[in-house]
Homo-oligomer: A and B are copies of this chain.
Amino acid sequence: MSEEPHIHVLHNPGINEAARQITQGVAQRDFIIILTRCSVEYEGRGASKLGSGDRLIIVKPDGAVLVHRPTGYSPVNWQPESHVINVDVLKDAVVLRSVRRRPKEILVIRLEQVYLLVRAKGLTDKAEFIEYMDEAEISDYIARHPEVVEQGLQIISRERRVGEGYVDILARDKDNNYVIIEVKRVTANEDAVKQLYSYIEELRKANPEAPIRGILVAPSITKDALILLNSLGLEYKQIDPARLHREAKKEKHSRYSRSLLEYLERKKG
């Protein structure tokens, strides 16, 4: 268990105190949140000016800066990453300047009054962002619809233990050959090929006579992996998780569509 983040909050700090805290926060790579009345200027690829108003400013540890107005999805001004952020006090206001190197852009925020200043330390977020389907869901879908890999496949088993690991899908093709299917959610690399090949070797030990095919199923594959795969006599089948997801949604009982649809159904009922 990772340690909890430490969060420091200031209510209505004066200009000097706010400047000091922001300076420290930037230096220490805190996640900084500021509710403030400010004006903003930007110049770079384009240019913009925004007069005084209440806004939320976010300064992230990696130098991303966002200025959000009270409405709307998109920030009114921003800096995807800052090369330099500096903080000054000028005429009764904190002036925060964020400079981006390439393209050369500068964002200047003049904080006239700070309502709330938050410095968060030690925020940790290691979770993987999974788009559309995770590996198990893709594997499930293929098990239900093996034709997306190849016509005439008959599923024999799922997650069968073979040697060190588990074969995602074991099947037979229309000529009754064994087919081992290895599923990857993202671009397949050489490791994925080696993994698939190791399963084939293991299965060959048990069935020295039977012809065994190996198919790597993934949205894309690296060049090196493709070369290795070909040299080992394996096959690659491209799938599109977005398309599979759309198809899966249409199904009534897919594992995937259950959770959110359930909610929607409950709302209706």
Which A residues fall within an 8 A CB radius of B? 4-5, 7, 9, 11, 31, 33, 35, 39, 41, 43, 45-56, 58, 60-62, 64, 66, 68-73, 76, 78-81, 97, 106, 108, 115-116, 118, 120, 123-134, 185-186, 241-242, 245, 259-260, 263-264, 266-267
| B263-A115 in contact (CB<8A) | no
| A266-B51 in contact (CB<8A) | yes
How many angstroms between the C-alpha atoms of A55 and B56 in the bound complex? 16
A94: min CB distance to chain B, Å: 15
How many angstroms between the C-alpha atoms of A47 and B70 in the bound complex? 27
| B61-A71 in contact (CB<8A) | yes
Which residues of B sit under 8 angstroms from A260, Cβ to Cβ? Answer: 41, 43, 49, 106, 108
Given contacts A41-B259, A53-B125, contact A70 B60 (CB under 8 A): yes
Q: Taking A49-B134, A50-B130 as given, write out 13 further A-B residue pairs in contact, using a Cβ cutoff of 8 Å, ordered by the A residue number.
A: A7-B116, A39-B127, A46-B132, A46-B242, A47-B245, A48-B132, A49-B263, A51-B266, A54-B124, A60-B72, A61-B71, A73-B79, A106-B263
Query: What 10 A-B pairs come out closest when comparing CB atoms?
Result: A53-B125, A51-B127, A54-B123, A73-B80, A47-B132, A62-B71, A53-B127, A70-B123, A43-B260, A49-B130
| B124-A76 in contact (CB<8A) | no
Residue from B52, B125, B130 within 8 A of A70 (CB atoms): B125
| B39-A130 in contact (CB<8A) | no
A56: min CB distance to chain B, Å: 7
Which residues of B sit under 8 angstroms from A68, Cβ to Cβ? Answer: 58, 60
